[in-house]
């Protein structure tokens, strides 16, 4: 086996490790958005971020398209 070629197990492990990190970032992002809106609705603080819904929609579209492209590559 050549030095520059990786073993399939190593590639599989790296893929799932990276996928777990992506899910963690997504989870933290959604948690922060949910907590900020909940605090705003409960009157704990008053956030005026008019672009937040647009950012959430764009982020969601990006996640869906990247998942679609990943499936298409396989």
User: Is there a domain that residue 36 lies in?
Assistant: yes
Query: Into how many domains does the chain fold?
Result: 1
Q: Which pLDDT score, from 0 to 100, does residue 74 have?
A: 67
Average pLDDT estimate for 59-71: 82
Q: Which pLDDT score, from 0 to 100, does residue 5 have?
A: 59
Tell whether the torsion through CA atoms of 25, 27, 30 and 34 is positive or negative. Answer: negative
User: Is there a domain that residue 11 lies in?
Assistant: no
User: Is there a domain that residue 24 lies in?
Assistant: no
CA atoms within 13 A on the CB side of 56: 13
Q: Which domain holds residue 56?
A: 30-74
CA distance 72 to 66: 10
The radius of gyration computed from the CA coordinates of the chain, to the nearest angstrom, equals: 18
Q: Which pLDDT score, from 0 to 100, does residue 17 have?
A: 60
User: Is there a domain that residue 45 lies in?
Assistant: yes
Q: Which pLDDT score, from 0 to 100, does residue 43 have?
A: 93
CA distance 51 to 25: 20
User: Is there a domain that residue 68 lies in?
Assistant: yes
Report pTM: 0.54
User: Is there a domain that residue 72 lies in?
Assistant: yes
Residue 67 pLDDT exceeds 60: yes
């Amino acid at each position: 086996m050549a030095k520059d070629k990786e073993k399939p197990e190593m590639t599989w492990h790296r893929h799932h490790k990276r996928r777990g990190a992506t899910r963690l970032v997504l989870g933290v992002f959604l948690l922060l958005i949910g907590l900020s809106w909940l605090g705003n609705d409960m009157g704990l603080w008053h956030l005026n971020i008019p672009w937040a819904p647009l950012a959430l929609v764009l982020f969601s579209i990006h996640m869906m398209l990247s998942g679609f492209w990943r499936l298409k590559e396989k």
